[in-house]
Structure 1
Amino acid sequence: MKSTDLSFLVLGAGAIGGITAALLRKNGYDVEILCRDKEYASLISDKGLSISGICGSFTVRVPSYSSASEISSKKDIILHATKATDMSAALSDALPVLKESGFVVSMQNGICEDELASMAGTERIIGCVTGWGATMESRGALSMTSAGDFILGYPAKPPDDFLDILSEALSVIVPVRTTDNIMGHLYSKLVINSCITSLGAICGLYLGDMLRIRKVRKIFIEIIREAVSVADKMGIRIEVFGGRLDFRKFLSGTGFIAELRRHGLIRLIGFKYRRLKSSSLQSLERGKKTEIDYLNGYIVHNAMKYNLAVPVNSVVVDMIHEIESKKREITPENFSDKSFNRFN
């Protein structure tokens, strides 16, 4: 099989899914989109997706549908790019059009492979770390905002020739790496999102403003400490995040100098990405649910299996659920909650 023989169905036409589909289509691949919004699907089919940013500017029409029953041919690959909160319903609709020999590629934030595997089978899941950024400027107008790569791997077996073929296809979007430790890469991204994305949703601040607060940096460090302890119990070998942030080295050492080093690194992250606004915060502002259950919630869920206490991650999950249900406001005052008193 050649990469050009692959047929794709992209679930979700947000920034990541839409740009992925558009670039595949532009490069001659057989790709269709499934999104639940009938009007949006018609717009993509009839007028096309307008793409801009660092991948160039172009418009391309991609056949799009609001129901899998409208799709006439079975696919080799489902690229699952919906929000984690929508992924099960989306996959349930799409599975009938996946070939028996086909695969589901999970492109969500957080770790969703277990839930998807319960529906499609572990042997049909390919994990994917999406290391590039994009935004939807308006319906049908998508922009690639930052460069990066894809990391692909099977949850339960080493890379093979098929993964190389898929990598070749996806390399028309960004560079692709394969790994025999996809769970380690996914967990690494989960840890950083559990700090940056989740804490940003609690307080409503841009990252730079948030990480100037010493108490928040202490909470940040403890989220990482709890996450690493859970990974140890799960047997996950956490990869270095972005090729630079080694969580074990970050946590190593005690005393004033070691603590100063940790706080200094967090301040640097805050300065470099000072205008970053939490994606979970943006979801809350739009009245949408966050992906908290697949971020800090994943840590809490697995900690329970091993009777591990992860009090900080638990509080973060509870607070965001309270915000989602309108029982708590988004405010920096949330860090004054008595649950965080030990970080004063």
Structure 2
Amino acid sequence: MNDGYPSIAICGIGSVTVTIVHAFHQNKVPYKILCKDQNRLFSLKEKPIQFKGPNGVTTDIDLIDHLILIQDNTETFDYIILGCKNQLLKDYLTLTKNHLNPNGKWFLIQNGLPEEHFSNLKNKIISGVVGWNTQLLENGIYFQSNPGSLVLGGSDQTKPNSIWETLLNPWIDVVLTEHITGFRWHKLAINSIINGLAASKQLSLGQLFLNRKGRNQAITVLTEIKELMSKLQIKEGVVPGSFPIQKLGGGKGSLPLWIRHLVLILLGLKYFRIRTSMVQDLDHKRKTEIEFINGEVVSEAIKIGLPVPANERIVNEVLKIESEFPS
């Protein structure tokens, strides 16, 4: 503990972790950034990060005093937040293992069901479900477009330490839960349409949801996931500010179809120009996390013999686009 604070490190600086760094910066919370290589260290030292919140205020965050090469670090931490893509998680866990206190915990803030791939570490993992959207704009500013929450729950279904409310509020609203699985699946379903479906069409959210065919496809995707959750007996946990899948997907408990279309239209209008992270990956000819989003839906459905053709089609379409990238 440092002045009553737990010791915290972040490995992997990107849109999600920069939003957390901004909250730490505002609340004067001590933290370290563990850099994997010298080039990344230099680029982060070169100039302050610029972060623009949903209140329209831009903040300069100087990281110089927080940066260290991971191989030069001799400290161990109570918490290490891993800000990498799903496909790199195993490497990051291995890389940071010796920097975690014996009773310390990793934060997995990735989309999908990341902790399910590391069941042997369940008592060492806190799952974070992110309820905001932050993008790196062309002018180099990180822009958080909506106020958002961070739902935190132990991977072993325990409630995390309430200190996180102090560390992040009011900049990030913290929700602590013993039932993180329901929130994970809710976010997985949302990502299956705003990331997966949008990527398969390479469209912004406005282009996707202001089109009737796009909305129909989104509802079909959500209906498949809703049925899968029912078969797996997973009770949905709704991320604050989001909309229940149980009401958007078809079947029992759903809203009238015209209201479901209206919700998606409003989403398209609100985030009209937003090209979500997976769409941006394809824009820049980078591999996506499709196998950890709609691909997770397909994998879980195969285990119980439930057909999910709409989700399977999305995975295949995105993988086809990726296959055409220069190697």
Amino acid at match of 1:191: A
> Which residue pairs with 2:176 in the alignment?
178
Q: Deviations over 1:294-341 (max 9, x none)?
A: 2111111111111111111111111111111118xxxxxxxxxxxxxx
> How far does residue 251 in structure 1 lie from its aligned partner after superposition?
3.6
Separation in 2 of the partners of 1:243 and 1:168? 21
Partner of 2:84: 82
- Letter of the structure 2 residue corresponding to residue 222 of structure 1: T
Check whether the contact 2:23–2:172 (CA below 8 A) recurs between aligned residues. no
Correspondence for 1:300 among 284, 298, 301: 298
5 Å-filtered alignment, 1:28-107, equals: 28-45=28-45, 47-53=47-53, 54=55, 56-61=58-63, 62-66=65-69, 68-107=70-109
Runs of at least 5 residues in structure 2 that lack an aligned partner in the other structure: none
Counterpart AA for 1:132: W
Q: Answer yes or no: is the 8 Å Cα contact 2:25–2:61 preserved in 1.
A: no
Query: Who is 1:332 aligned against?
Result: none
CA distance in 1 between partners of 2:27 and 2:184 (Å): 28
- Amino acid paired to 1:69: Q
In structure 2, what is the equivalent of residue 109 of structure 1?
A: 111
Contact 1:48-1:140 within 8 A present in 2 as well? no
Q: Which amino acid aligns with 2:67?
A: S
Equivalent residues in 2 for 1:200-211 (5 A)? 200-211=198-209
Amino acid corresponding to residue 109 of structure 1 in structure 2: N
Equivalent in the alignment of 1:227? 225
Q: CA deviation at 1:26?
A: 5.3
Q: Is the 8 A contact 1:105 1:125 kept in 2?
A: yes
Alpha-carbon RMSD across the aligned residues, in angstroms, is: 2.6
Match of 1:169 in 2: 167
Q: Give the AA of the match of 2:29.
A: Y
Q: Taking structure 1 as reference, are residues 44 and 313 closer, same or farther at Cα in structure 2, changes over 3 Å only? A: same
Q: CA deviation at 1:31?
A: 1.2
Q: How many residues align?
A: 320
Q: Is the 8 A contact 2:153 2:180 kept in 1?
A: yes
Deviation at 1:49, TM superposition (A): 2.9
Q: What's the TM-score, normalizing by structure 2? A: 0.87
Give the Å deviation of 1:260: 3.0
Task: Report the 3-state secondary structure (helix = DSSP H, G, I; strand = E; otherwise coil) of the residue aligned with 2:307.
Answer: coil
Q: By how many angstroms is 1:101 displaced?
A: 0.3
Q: SS where residue 99 of structure 1 aligns?
A: strand
| Alignment partner of 1:281 out of 266, 275, 279 | 279
* Deviation, structure 1 residue 139: 9.5
The one of 310, 313, 324 equivalent to 2:311 is 313
In the alignment, the residues of structure 1 paired with residue 251 and residue 85 of structure 2 have an alpha-carbon distance, to the nearest angstrom, of 38
| Contact residue 132 and residue 146 of structure 2 kept, 8 A | yes
**Counterpart Cα distance in 2 of 1:123 and 1:186:** 17
Q: Structure 1 regions of 5+ residues with no counterpart?
A: 328-344
- How far the C-alpha of 1:187 sits from its partner, in A, is 1.1
Asked if the contact 1:252/1:258 (under 8 Å) is kept, the reply is no
SS of residue paired to 2:31: strand
**TM-score, normalised with respect to structure 1:** 0.83
Q: In the alignment, what sits opposite 1:198? A: 196
How far, CA to CA, are the matches of 1:141 and 1:258 in structure 2?
A: 40
